[in-house]
Structure 1
Amino acid sequence: MKTEKTEKTDLTSVTIRPFDRNSEADYEALAALQNIETPEMPVTASEIRYRDEQQPAHLLSGRFLAQTAADTILGVSDYGQWLGMYHPRRFWGGVLVHPDCRRQGIGTRLYDALLERLAPHDPLSLRAVAREDKPDANAFLEKRGYAPDMRFWESVLQVAAFDPAPYQGAIDRFVSEDFTIRSYADLANDPDRDRRLYEMVEEVHQDVPSPEARTPVPFDEWIKRLDSPNFLPDANFVALGPDGTYLGITMLWKRQATDQLQTGLTGVRAAYRRKGIALALKLRAIEYARSMGAPSIRTDNESNNRGMLSINEALGFVKDPVWVVYVKTLSEEKEPPV
């Protein structure tokens, strides 16, 4: 499938069809569309396919493509549910149209296909995101009754420009408390490593700002994440207390289309916060990135998460334009009869 818009493209011939998960061409076209929209966060077809294949069976999802008679893919819409914020009637959704083909009704048709597919599930709400510097995307959502609900920043650290010298005192204080930092790979001799890590991650996640209420992720689903081709055993760092308790974590993931590293969860158990543990973990991650020659590290933080934002700002992470999380209420949840 092609994604290029040409002068000969006949927009009246555009059809909306379901995405074919057995089609490599569909995955390639989807990746190309996403990379046109957000080139700073490139993705490969294989990464998208892997996420689809790992989706738990109980999570509902769907995807549609806008295609011309000449097999040119002009846009996509999709919807799904969150594993860690699961509600059977709450969904996320999105529409993306090639920049050259906007304001011609393609996005509306893709969105209508999404709503039609969702209707039998009687959805309560639908969430979407748009970057604040993308006025067309924000206007599309607001016109359809979406309201801003929360905001988050993507931020980037240029690794070569980072000077670790001012932070040596922070590391010394961390070590003086008899805390240590070990990578996931270093902890291989701990027979309970994965279970202990899972329990800490679930605990820490409860305090991470989120658009929906957090729900437990089953261990057998969580553990699959460690089999991802983008998981880096040497770049997932755990802070341990003097007695070996897992206190905090920061995770770095690789991207297949770039040497840039992506930060996943960074967090510390509530009882051990404000002791410099998160900063020490971030410094260790930057040290790893430097040793591997990674040009940059990308992270994201909810706009009210001042604790992590302050650390990242101090370290030199530079914010991209803010992302706005929108929500549209489709029906009211009724209390069960007493």
Structure 2
Amino acid sequence: MSTNLQRTPVPAGIQMRRFSGSDADFAAAVEITNQVYPEYPDTVDEWRFGDAKRPAHVLQVRWFADLDGVPVAYGTYHHHEGMYHPQKFGLFVYVLPAYQGRGIGAALYDHLISDLEPHRPIMLRSRTREDMQRSLHFLLDRGFQEGMREWESRLDVAAFDPTPYQGHAATLRAEGIRITTVAELLEHDPACHEKLWQLNNELMHDVPHPDAPTEITLESFENWIFKNPNFLPQGFFVALDGSNYVGLSALWSSQADATELYTGLTGVRRAYRRRGIALALKLHAIAYAQQHQIRTVKTWNESNNRAMLSINEMLGFVKQPAWINFDKQLREG
């Protein structure tokens, strides 16, 4: 299928400009995305970290739509390292709320498509929340089709009562399973980095993805985890069977909001499932959040992942509007 399309006329006063990497451009792009998604604020430091650690083969290109010299919309296309394919790209357009509905986003989207064409893309992916009707219509009107849905769930940390779960960790210890932190493992296990990387790669194959997952290298894993400004070694929990790493659950800080934490990967090796290990890992994470006066913990789960959704529901996580992944096939691969 051709990527040719009827181009939207560029609104008067709008000029497309490539992202320069300057402090001002980073600040403008982060501000635009934060205004579109104010519940998930980013910081310039987080974006700069991502750029500095991204492998050379993983492409990311950014553009602005300036109105009379002022950025009012931001767009990007990029590879996804964890689902890498050289001709498959994520594509996202963000328009300041005050400037939506004027054709600016449509013109920027067309510009991104034109700029992307030399890479011969075969598929585009995007994502939005189900209650953002303008974004949904924008994608559907351009031929995107709904794919995987993810429930976002949030926990009111102060309201959580751990009493019903007292003794759960002791039961696991009697079976030889111990929960510890990455902080402790870094101090006592010289092979910690490699063991976590191997566990992560194994677990990621069982996590639902919009496309086939690809393993990341040990170097990339070390960069994204241990050098990440949001890494919390005391809030990153690992289940051990002796010296074997059999499960994990990670909390990540928010640079923009110290009262919130994000849950990263939670998973258990197949041979150790249905023993309450994932629940124990989540309980340790919630205890960490309570000890640090965190207000909210956010997490995401694929809509058909009943095992993890059931654990979260039992613990008091409350579902929010779902996030919908979209894809658009452009040509045969």
Length-normalised TM-score, structure 1:
0.92
- Equivalence for 2:175: 177
CA shift, 1:287, in A, is 0.5
CA distance in structure 2 between the aligned counterparts of 1:295 and 1:130, rounded to whole angstroms: 25
The aligned counterpart of 1:222 is 221
**In the aligned structure 2, how far is the partner of 1:277 from the partner of 1:148?**
33
Could you give the per-residue CA deviations for residues 281-303 of structure 1, whole angstroms, max 9, x where no partner exists? 00000101111111111111111
For 2:208, what is the secondary structure of its paired residue? coil
Does residue 213 in structure 1 map to residue 212 in structure 2? yes
The CA deviation string for residues 203-252 of structure 1, in whole angstroms up to 9 with x for no partner, is 011000001101111111111121111111111110001x2211100001
Distance 2:245 2:331 in 1: 42
Question: How far is 1:169 from its partner?
Answer: 4.1
Query: 1:175: how far off?
Result: 2.3
Q: May I ask how many residue pairs the two structures share in their alignment?
A: 320
Provide the rounded CA distance (Å) in 1 between the counterparts of 2:135 and 2:229: 32
Partner of 2:149: 151
Deviation at 1:31, TM superposition (A): 1.5
Asked if 1:189 is matched to 2:180, the reply is: no
Partner SS state of residue 191, structure 1: coil
Measured against aligned partners, the alpha-carbon deviations of 1:261-300 in whole angstroms (never above 9, x if no partner) come to 1111100001101100000000000101111111111111
Alignment of 1:160-309 (within 5 A): 160-187=158-185, 188-225=187-224, 226-241=226-241, 243-259=242-258, 260-309=260-309
- What is the DSSP-based 3-state SS (H/G/I as helix, E as strand, rest coil) of the residue aligned with 1:258? coil
Structure 2 unaligned spans of 5+: 1-10
What's the TM-score once normalised by structure 2's chain length?
0.94
Q: Deviation at 1:172?
A: 3.3
Q: CA deviation at 1:16?
A: 1.0
**Larger CA deviation: 164-173 vs 182-191:** 164-173
- SS at 2:82 equivalent: coil
Show structure 1 runs of 4+ deviating over 4 A.
none
CA distance in structure 1 between the partners assigned to 2:245 and 2:95 by the alignment: 45
228-237 or 173-182: which moved more?
173-182
Partner in structure 1 of residue 14 of structure 2: 14
User: Secondary structure at 1:64's aligned position in 2?
Assistant: strand
What one-letter code is carried by the residue in structure 2 that aligns with 1:111?
A: Y
- C-alpha deviation, 1:72, in angstroms: 2.3
SS in 2 for 1:186: helix
In structure 2, the residue matched to 1:315 is 315
Q: 1:184 deviation in Å?
A: 0.5
In structure 2, C-alpha distance between the alignment counterparts of 1:244 and 1:221, rounded to whole Å: 24
Secondary structure, aligned partner of 2:81: coil
Matches of 1:232 and 1:169 in 2, distance apart? Answer: 26
Match of 2:98 among 100, 113, 123: 100
1:47 is displaced (CA, Å) by 1.1
Q: What secondary structure does 1:209 align onto? A: coil
Q: Which runs of 5 or more structure 1 residues have no equivalent in the other structure? A: 1-10, 334-338
Q: Tell me the secondary structure at the aligned position of residue 312 of structure 2.
A: helix
Q: Percent identity?
A: 44
- What CA RMSD, in Å, does the superposition of the two structures yield over aligned residues? 1.1
Q: Secondary structure at the match of 1:12?
A: coil
